[in-house]
Amino acid sequence: MAELAGSSILIIGATGGLGRHIARQLADAGANLTLTARSQQALDELGIPGTHIAGDLTDPELPETLVALAVMAHGRLDGVINAAGVVAFGPVAETSDATLDELWTVNALAPMRVLRAAVPALEHAKEDGGTPFIVTLSGVVSENPTAGLGAYSAVKTAVAAFHSVAARELRRQGIRVMDARPGHTETELSRHPIAGETPKFPTGYDPAGVAARIVAGIVNDEKDLPSSAFTEISHPEAPMVAAEPVEAGPDAHPAVKMAAEMPLEVSASAPTDASASSPASAGSAGSPASVDSPASPGSAHPAASSASAPSAPSAPTPGSAPAPTDDGAPAPAEHAEHIEAEQQQHDGGEQHEPAQHDSGEQQHDGSQHDGDEHHDAEQHGDPQHEGDQHRD
């Protein structure tokens, strides 16, 4: 069992959304920290005690400098945590060389250099009776490469493979290498891509919870933290905002008109346009539902709270209530013709053919759509994308 109090730990990417939580929790446990990020001001504003040094991970000399500084400041080095990284979105055929170079340098080459530079100091810590470790965060995309994140997935898979081999080789020296692969986490990583546009994601994991799980893995001498190790972590609640009003036509069923007049609220992270609620738009290639999640229908994490509407009042006769859509919400006004057709069938005793959507896609018979019940949402580990933070 690793002892955090009094240990010397180097954290790379300490000002990121995940790195800062890891740093704070380790400081609270009594660890002596060496923190690095791109901005010295951001490091100082953290308010976390320790040695702070700004640096650029593209500098091949930085890893050895960081290790030397940690040993100089605290007399030894017991652990290294790499929580820095960058992300890029878009089809692989449209990924530029510049994007590929930065993804590789920051997300793969830098952690490899850090591990290489840290091994001699970690060996000394083991000789002194310590339990040295190295932690990397390859994220769930290293388990399941994701459409729209091809280059990012490839780089993360490479760093996972490198550290998997290192774990076997360094075990002889008593150095533990642990790879963490959380799903999409609510940090700034996905909001600041170096290329491409950020797609709409389901609500991700609470970064403090992900950090706590990683710290627990360090303390408990765990050797691997796959995506399944993070599934019990909570999702932060998204604020509720007013939903777009739904217009009901003059010939709409009374229940539809009443529902359209009711004030609705949706999660701030939930899609509000009609296209966002369709399985086709949610799971299209190149638009992953989460930075760290594989596309797996039925296994995706739902958003913290989805759009909801009050139930429509019971109609005078069975079958007159709005038919539910794929997500269980009352039918929008555009389904009014179908609802009225069913109403006439009950009231007049006549048999009517079920009305089709204007697009001719599917027919209703008073039950749910025949189409997919699950959006092709990714997660990002389940339906959630990547625990590592935007580059600092």
Q: Is residue 9 a contact partner of residue 74, using CB atoms and an 8 Å limit? A: no
**Same domain (yes/no): 224, 340:** no
What number of other Cβ atoms are within 10 A of residue 351's Cβ? 6
- Of the three residues 230, 247, 280, the one that is the final residue of a domain is 230
Domain count across the chain: 2
Of 39, 78, 44, the C-alpha closest to 55 is 39
For residue 259, give its domain range: 239-267+310-373
Is there a domain that residue 279 lies in? Answer: no
Distance CA 39, CA 15 (A): 8
Is residue 194 located within the same domain as residue 335? no
How are beta strands 240-242 and 265-267 bridged, if at all? antiparallel
pLDDT digit string (tens) for the chain, length 392 residues? 789 999 999 999 999 999 999 999 999 999 999 999 999 999 999 999 999 999 999 999 999 999 999 999 999 999 999 999 999 999 999 999 999 999 999 999 999 999 999 999 999 999 999 999 999 999 999 999 999 999 999 999 999 999 999 999 999 999 999 999 999 999 888 889 999 998 888 889 999 999 999 999 999 999 999 999 999 997 776 555 555 666 767 777 676 666 666 665 555 544 444 333 333 333 333 334 344 443 333 333 333 333 334 444 444 444 444 444 444 444 444 444 444 444 444 444 444 444 444 444 444 443 444 434 333 333 444 434 444 444 55
Per-residue pLDDT, 199: 86
220 shares its domain with 336: no
Residue 274 DSSP code = G
Looking at the structure, do residues 213 and 251 belong to the same domain, yes or no?
A: no
User: Does one domain contain both 174 and 72?
Assistant: yes
Q: Which DSSP category does 278 fall into? A: S
Q: Is residue 384 part of a domain?
A: no
Question: Residue holding tokens 């002194």?
Answer: 128
**Domain end: 205, 230, 255, which one?**
230
Q: Are strands 224-225 and 133-137 parallel, antiparallel or unpaired?
A: unpaired
The per-residue pLDDT for 388 is 42
Q: Kindly state whether residue 295 falls inside one of the protein's structural domains.
A: no
Burial 73-87 (b: 16+ CB within 10 A, else e): bbebbbbbbbbbbbb
Do 191 and 100 fall within a single domain? yes
DSSP conformational letter for 277: G
In a shared domain, residues 179 and 80:
yes
Provide the β-strand partners of residue 9.
Answer: 33, 79
Same domain, 208 and 337: no
Q: Is 41 exposed, middle or buried (0-12, 13-18, 19+ CB in 10 A)?
A: exposed
**CA–CA gap between residue 352 and residue 68 (Å, rounded):** 80
Does residue 153 share a domain with residue 36?
yes
Task: Tell me, yes or no, whether 248 and 118 share the same domain.
Answer: no
The single residue listed with the structure tokens 């009003």 is: 245
User: In this structure, are 166 and 250 located in the same domain?
Assistant: no
Whether 212 is in a domain gets the answer yes
- Beta-bridge mates of residue 53: 36
Task: Please state, in angstroms and rounded to a whole number, the distance separating the CA atoms of residues 289 and 385.
Answer: 8
Does residue 81 lie within any of the structural domains? Answer: yes
Regarding whether 317 and 198 lie in a shared domain, the answer is: no
Q: What is the CATH number of the domain that holds 217?
A: 3.40.50.720
For residue 2 the two structure tokens come to: 């690793």
Cα dihedral value 255, 258, 259, 262, nearest 10:
-170
Confirm whether 272 is domain-assigned: no
Point out the domain boundary residue: 230, 251, 278: 230
In this structure, which amino acid lies at residue 331? A
Residue 381 included in any domain = no
The DSSP annotation for 332-381 comes to -GGGHHHHHHHHHHHHH----PPPBPTT---B-SSS--SS-SS---BBTT
At 380 the pLDDT is: 42
Q: Check residue 265 and give its pLDDT.
A: 54
3-state secondary structure 77-139: CCEEEECCCCCECECHHHCCHHHHHHHHHHHHHHHHHHHHHHHHHHHHHHHCCCCCEEEEECC
Asked whether residue 188 is assigned to any structural domain, the reply reads: yes
pTM, two decimal places? 0.64
